[in-house]
Amino acid sequence: MTISTIAANAGDIDRRLLMDRSVPGRKAFTVPESDVSEQALPDAGMLRDDVELPEVSQLEVIRYFSVLSQLNFSIDTNFYPLGSCTMKYNPKINDELSNLPGLADIHPLQPDETVQGAIRLLKNLQDDLGEITGLPGVSLAPLAGAQGEYAGLLITRAYHDARNDSERVVAIVPDSAHGTNPASAAMAGLEVATVRSDDQGNVDVENLRELADSRTAVFMLTIPSTLGLFEPNILEITKIVHDAGGLVYADGANLNALLGIVKLGDLGVDICHSNLHKTFSTPHGGGGPGSGPVMVSDELAKFLPKPVAEKTGDGYVLATPEQSIGPINGFHGSFSIAARAYAYIRALGLEGMQSVSENAVISANYIQARLKDKYDLAADRYCMHETVLSATRQKKRGVAGLDIAKRLLDFGIHAPTMYFPMIVDEALMVEPTESESKETLDHFIAVMRQIDDEIDSAPELVLDAPHDLPVTRLDEATAARKPVLRWTAEE
Amino acid sequence: MHSSVNTSANHPYIPSTDSERAEMLGVIGVDSLDGLLGDIPPEQRHPKLNLAPGLSEQELSAEFGAIAAENASSSSGYISFLGAGSYNHYIPSTVRSILQRGEFVTAYTPYQPEAAQGTLQVAFEFQTVICQLTGMEVANAGMYDGPTAFAEACLMAARVTKRTKIGVLASADSRLPATLLAYSKYQAIEIVSIDSQATEIPDDLACIGIQSPNFFGEIEDVERLTDLAHANGALSVVHVNPIALGLFRPPGDFDVDIVTAEGQPLGVPMAFGGPYVGLFACKKAHVRQVPGRIIGRTIDTKGRTGYALTLQTREQHIRRERATSNICTSTQLIGLMVTVYAATLGKQGIKDLANLCYQKAHYAASEIDRLDGFSVDSTGAYFHEFVITCPDSPSKINAALLDEKIIGGLDISDRSDNGMLVAVTETSSRADIDRFVAALSKIGAAS
Amino acid sequence: MYPEELKYSKEHEWVRMNGNIAEVGVTVFAQESLGDVVFVDLPEAGTEVEQFAKFGEIESVKAVSDLFSPVGGKILEINSEATDRPEAVNEEPYDSGWLIKVEISDTAQLDALMDAATYEATLE
């Protein structure tokens, strides 16, 4: 089933913007009259004329945004096998509970004694994340994975600065790394050295041994890797880095494969981050908000960004660790996202947590097993929670990974992650998650097989896809050459 | 440590049954999950996890009810005069209603635009709203929060001018330069403080970073400072309050180069500090240096209007270590809330609201100024925040206020002797303000 | 595809000599690999450039590539058509899609470049 048959079949959907629908004098809201004596305004020269904002009725607001929502794919309406994004069910109870009065309406600067419940929630979540990752020092301050990653690198630099080791300015990053890894490293003033992956998608250990030296600050590794594979040589890898005097940072984007299966801290990892909006079910929101807590070993906890929730004799406080890298944003992190993640962990409990990864791994391997006769695998071995297919065979027959992704949309299935990791040709990264039923997996498999057949029997179906959505392929070249980035009045 | 995994646990969030798992394992060709975990060192596999057993939804609700009940807020009968970057504003029903739509809440980042026209058109509207409020030419689709947007703006100014010294007005909220420091510590950037009254500045500044209204609530002379910056080859970066823009002239009037703001006041709950949204707008000429996502309008193969991410080569997923920022996931859903809010308040509403906040704040200030022992320090024009000097330490005053279920203003005695920063919005009724004033009077007399 | 009268660098740039002025652009192979060119970032006229050093960037929707000058010298002129209409680089990479004109300091540099046949062979 495609998205919103109403929208898709309604002929041309009215895509006019709010300013084009505005009629002078209409309003959607009434601000109360002032109940205080009239106060003198500042000098007229400081005051503005009208703000150009829409003038529509309240029903028009509701209808406009409601119809727009129907143009979206979403987890609530579609299967979203996006590798490394962990598009699992976002439990509705979490949205409800995080919006409770007493949680949604507390100010970040209220005295600690007036927000004991909130700080207790943060402390409990810190403890749970520390337990799950095996890295007990936790700060929930980072507002997204990239910020958690950056905080991890600041901690790395603070650690080496405290040891008076100013030579350590290199971050080693695999060639399969997510773009934020080198971007964050550059922001932290680190040079990026790239370590090769071997033909099995593993870190080339000998190459790493050559690269790790007295200039190595940190080795940044995604575990499992961006190919959905677990490093068989992980213990040797972390030892090489430690022997060279560097730290090991794990990008925890793929943590959904590891819950209850292995703790990062047990593998020699010193620092990691997690994405609450991936592994811990908080909603993606169309591009955020997320939360990227950073977890570290005991030795590094003193460098964590502020604030860290702590339990004292009297109660709970928001504290600043003794050698903290300081604040990295305005307040305390994404509190209502943390609240949702905490609700999720409490709802699953120990057995549920272990079940998540078990099912995520089995489902991904099932898809891999049932598609590998038609689609090349990036690496011919069991995967973890995601499988990376390569559309190389399809490319030879005239259809690229991108075309397959667009054709999937016609079946109401969001495309897998495309063209990533960069070391795999025509990559299609598929992550079903544990939320999806076997019927959904079987349907996906059947559709992928059908599309493969269509390449020969009806190639235009694939090349011109999508056909059944509110728009066909968009002219992104013109959008970049002549950017139109806001509404303007027609002349 | 070995612990057995309970494979028959069926949780509402996990549909696969034992027999389905068995069938899948058969197809894969292994006997059990462990057959798939061969790469994981056996000693480290299946560690003991010290997590409590799972709760039913009903039990979970009860636990959260207890957590919420431990916090003081308007829903438990408190009135508050805290501001300093997060403000209590009334959130219209339209915002909460649209947030119920799972198609917005549970959608992914719009990398496949054909499947995300809802998110993309909302983001385009968001960019439009930010431009309209600030008077600037282009805006991005949002950043993490106000302070990180400000930090990114200063770093962008450094890239554009190819200079490394960033000036920040001394009257700014200290969280702004603190966040800038976190973002620039290991890049050869120097941060210097500039006085609001400065008539000269170093000739090698990348920008002057101005907060207006400033930390103390007062309006800065943005026009004069922008001219001063430009005369010295520097850019002007101005961090504003979006509600204040319903009343005061926008920075776009003054040839400002980059504008940032905390978007939280525009329909976003205070929520103990987040998630919020950072607003970011600038001159069109600098668009290729802008961080974060930008949505552009285009057409499809049939000539129909559509929206897509554009200018993506600025971003980390393409440019990697040379990206304008490492930002990936930002705050799209909060941007939706802001957009619905702006559409709901509309042209007249934003003016009325800004005026109402101004009226109540100035009323409160004049009443407090009359009290023995208290004085209002704001000298120039201010919006809805002002500094009062207390007869005793603000922390003592606030402790006494709490006994009356009043959360007082922020203790800023580190920046202003016995200073308290008081914020008043439309959510404070006249009765609330009078109660606050009466309490201050009583506490002041007793001190 | 690869005009005989031009010289080529391994980074997929071409050179057309006119006295000691070198006209520089990217080859058909380069623009095909990039896809639709959306932006060209060129330095100002008067900038000095070294042979094989980076002088700018070229962007398509989904990729960005560095531009390396096949010759060294002073940039006399940049092609405003390419900056105003980047699609010219796709349409006519050897003609209206040229990028910079360089007054070269030393004609011996040209010996380090390939002829059409040699360059085309490297593409296999």
- What CATH number does residue A131 fall under? 3.40.640.10
Alpha carbon distance B258, B284 (integer Å): 10
- In the listed set A301, A322, A347, which residue is the last one of a domain according to the structure? A347
Helices B175-184 and B146-161, packing angle to 10 deg: 50
Query: How high is the pLDDT of residue B9?
Result: 57
CB-based contact B288 C64, cutoff 8 Å: no
B13 touches chain A (CB under 8 A): yes
**Residues A256, A113 share a domain:** yes
Question: Nearest residue on chain C to A480, judged by CA atoms?
Answer: C38
From CA B367, how far away is CA B436, in angstroms rounded?
10
User: Which residues does chain A have within 8 Å of residue B112's beta carbon, measured at their own beta carbons?
Assistant: 73, 405-406, 409, 414-415
> How confident is the model at residue A178, as a pLDDT?
79
Spatial contact of B300 and A471, defined as CB atoms under 8 Å apart: yes
**Cα–Cα distance for residue pair B383/A211, rounded to 1 Å:** 57
Q: How far apart are CA B154 and CA B164, in angstroms?
A: 10
Q: Which domain holds residue A394?
A: 355-476
pLDDT > 70 in chain A, percent: 98
Q: Give me the residue from C35, C62, C87 closest to A481, CB to CB.
A: C87
Of residues B87, B362, B428, B76, the one with CA closest to residue B242: B87
Taking residues A436-462, what's their average pLDDT? 97
A43, part of any domain:
no
Tokens 């507390």 belong to residue: A106
- Note whether residue A458 is domain-resident: yes
Distance CA B229, CA B199 (A): 10
Residue B6 pLDDT more than 60? no
| Average predicted confidence (pLDDT) for chain B | 95
**Residues 167-226 (A) with a CB less than 8 A from some CB of B:** 178-180, 182-190, 192
Tell me the two tokens of residue A152: 């991890």
| C54–A contact, CB cutoff 8 A | no
Question: B-C interface: how many C-beta pairs under 8 angstroms?
Answer: 15
Judge: C60–A476 Cβ closer than 8 Å, yes or no: no
* Same domain flag for A105 and A248: yes
Using one digit for the tens of pLDDT, what is the confidence trace for A398-411?
Answer: 999 999 999 999 99
pLDDT at A6: 44
pLDDT in tens, B63-94: 999 999 999 999 999 999 999 999 999 999 99
Same topology, domains B74-90+347-446 and B95-340? Answer is: no
Nearest to A143 by CA among A5, A327, A12: A327
* Residue ranges in A89-199 assigned as alpha helix (H): 92-98, 116-133, 145-162, 180-187
| pLDDT, tens digit (0-9, with 9 covering 90-100), for A457-483 | 999 999 999 998 999 999 999 999 999
The strand pair at B385-389 and B406-407 is best described as: unpaired
User: Measured between CB atoms, does C91 come within 8 Å of chain A?
Assistant: no
Same domain, A367 and A318: no
Question: What subunits make at least 3 CB pairs under 8 angstroms with A?
Answer: B, C
SS3 C114: strand
Other Cβ atoms less than 10 A from the Cβ of A458: the count is 10
Q: Which residue of A has its CA nearest to C36?
A: A477
DSSP state of A72: B
Residue A56, chain B, CB below 8 Å: the answer is yes
Contacts for B166 with CB less than 8 Å, ≥ 6 apart: B154, B157, B158, B180, B184, B189, B190, B191, B192, B205, B206, B207, B209
The span from the CA of A302 to the CA of B434, in Å, is: 45
Distance CA(B114)–CA(B302), nearest Å, equals 13
User: Nearest-CA distance from C5 to chain B in Å?
Assistant: 34
> One-letter amino acid identity for A408?
L
Residues of B in contact with A73 (CB under 8 A): 103, 107-108, 112, 115-116
Do A149 and A186 fall within a single domain? yes
Rg of chain B over CA atoms, in angstroms? 26
Query: Mean per-residue pLDDT for A72-81?
Result: 97
Contact A76 B105 (CB under 8 A): yes
3-state class (DSSP) for residue B434: helix
User: Mapping DSSP to helix (H, G, I), strand (E, B) and coil, where does residue B127 land?
Assistant: helix
CB A13 within 8 A of CB B121: no
pLDDT digits (tens, 9 = 90+) for B254-266: 999 999 999 999 9
Residue whose pair of structure tokens reads 């699992």 in the numeric block: A88
Same domain, A177 and A230: yes
CA distances from A21 to A487, A488, B118, B431 (A): 12, 13, 17, 40
**Which chains would you list as touching C if contact means 3+ CB atom pairs under 8 Å?**
A, B
Write the residue in B39, B114, B272 that is nearest to A108 by C-beta.
Answer: B272
Is A50 within a domain? Answer: no
| A224 and A99 inside one domain | yes
Domain ranges of chain B: 74-90+347-446, 95-340
Label residue A7 by pLDDT band (50, 70, 90). very low
Q: Considering only CB atoms, which chain B residues are within 8 Å of C60?
A: 313
Residues A339 and A379 in one domain: no
**Helix A145-162 / helix A180-187 crossing angle, nearest 10 deg:** 40
* Dist. CA C109–CA C70, nearest whole Å: 9
From the list A77, A185, A415, the residue facing B103 with the nearest CB is A77
Where residue C29 falls (left for φ over 0; alpha for ψ -120 to 50; beta otherwise) is alpha
pLDDT band with cut points at 50, 70 and 90 for residue B20: very high
Q: Measured between alpha carbons, how far is B157 from B209 in angstroms, rounded to an integer?
A: 10
CATH topology of domain B74-90+347-446: Aspartate Aminotransferase, domain 1 (3.90.1150)
Q: Enumerate neighbours of B (3 or more CB pairs within 8 A).
A: A, C
With an 8 Å Cβ cutoff, is A408 touching chain B? no
- Please confirm whether the linkage preceding A224 is cis (ω < 30° from 0): yes
To which residue do tokens 């961006």 refer?
A: A226
Residue A230, CA distances (Å) to A135, A202, A385 in order: 19, 8, 10
Flag whether residue A325 sits within 8 Å of chain B, measured between CB atoms.
yes
Mention every residue, 6+ apart, whose C-beta is less than 8 A from residue A284: A75, A85, A87, A90, A277, A290, B106, B107, B108, B109, B329
Would you state the pLDDT for residue B226?
98
CA distance A62 to B93: 10
Domain membership of residue A70 (yes or no) is no
Please check the confidence at residue A303 and state whether its pLDDT lies above 60: yes
How close does chain A come to B201, measured CA to CA in Å? 25
Across chain C, how many H-helices and E-strands are there?
4, 9
SS3 content of chain A, % helix, strand, coil (to 5): 40, 15, 50
Chains A, C: CB contacts under 8 A, how many? Answer: 18
Q: For chain C, state the CA radius of gyration.
A: 13
Look up residue A105 and give its amino acid: D
Q: Quick one: how far is CA A49 from the chain centroid?
A: 41
Assess if residue A242 is contained within a domain.
yes
Specify the pLDDT at position A11: 57
pLDDT 10s digits, B230-276: 999 999 999 999 999 999 999 999 999 999 999 999 999 999 999 99
Kindly state whether A128 is in contact with chain B, defined as any CB-CB distance less than 8 angstroms. Answer: yes
Does one domain contain both A325 and A371? no
* pLDDT at position B2 over 50: no
Number of domains in chain A: 2
Query: How close, in Å, is residue C72 to chain B by CA atoms?
Result: 24
Question: Which residues of C fall within a CB distance of 8 Å from B308?
Answer: none
pLDDT confidence of residue A10 = 47
**How many Å lie between the alpha carbon of A86 and the closest alpha carbon of chain B?**
10
C59-112 confidence digits (pLDDT tens) = 998 788 999 999 999 999 999 999 999 999 999 999 999 999 999 988 899 999
A169 pLDDT above the threshold of 90 = yes
Region B442-446: what's the mean pLDDT? 92
C61 to chain A, closest Cα gap in Å:
6
Tell me the CA distances in angstroms from A481 to B179, C63, C64, C86, one per residue in order.
Answer: 34, 14, 14, 7
> Is residue A82 domain-resident?
no
Please give the Cα distance from B376 to B388 (Å, whole number).
4
The answer on A411 and A330 residing in a single domain is no
Q: Which residues pair with A47 in a beta bridge?
A: B248
- In C8-47, the residues whose Cβ lies within 8 Å of chain A are 35-36, 38-39
Domain presence at residue A131: yes
Place of tokens 């033909």: A199
Average pLDDT in the C18-35 region? 92
Return the residue in C31, C36, C37 with the most chain A beta carbons within 10 A, the one to mutate for interface testing.
C36
pLDDT value of position B319: 76
Show the CA angle centred on residue C106, arms to residues C104 and C111, nearest 5°: 105
Q: The dihedral of CA B108, B111, B116, B121: what is its sign? A: positive
Residue by residue, DSSP assigns B313-352 as: GGSHHHHGGGSS----S--HHHHHHHHHHHHHHHHHHHHH
Per DSSP, the three-state class of A462 is helix
Query: What rounded mean pLDDT belongs to chain A?
Result: 94
Peptide bond into B147 cis (omega under 30): no
pLDDT, average across residues B322-345 = 90
- Looking at the complex, does the CB of residue C81 fall below 8 Å from at least one CB of chain A? no
The predicted model gives B417-442 an average pLDDT of 98
B313 has a chain C CB within 8 A of its CB: yes
| Residue A303 CB burial class (10 angstroms; 0-12, 13-18, ≥19) | buried
Rounded distance, CA A147 to CA B147, Å? 13
Cβ–Cβ under 8 Å, residues A111 and B398:
yes
CATH assignment at residue A407: 3.90.1150.10
- Mark whether A408 and A460 lie in a shared domain: yes
Q: Is A358 within 8 Å of B33 when comparing Cβ atoms? A: yes
- For A72, the closest of B116, B141, B319 (CB atoms) is B116
Look at residue A180 in the predicted model and tell me its pLDDT. 78
The owner of tokens 């992956």 is A197
Do residues A306 and A213 share a domain?
yes
CA angle, A214 then A217 then A223, to 5°: 125
Residue of C nearest to B308 (CA): C61
Q: What pLDDT sits at residue A4? A: 46
Closest partner CB to C39 (pick from A419, A476, A480) = A480
Residue A3 is predicted with a pLDDT of 46
Chain centroid to Cα B438, Å, comes to 33
State whether A196 and A254 are in the same domain: yes
Tokens found for residue B324: 């304008």
Q: What's residue A417's pLDDT?
A: 87
C60 CB neighbours in chain A (<8 A) are 477
Interface check for B197 against chain A (CB to CB < 8 A): the answer is no
> Is residue A68 situated within a structural domain?
no
- What topology does CATH give the domain B95-340? Aspartate Aminotransferase; domain 2 (3.40.640)
Residue A480 to residue C87, Cβ atoms within 8 A: no
Separation between Cα atoms, residue A9 and residue A4, nearest integer Å = 8
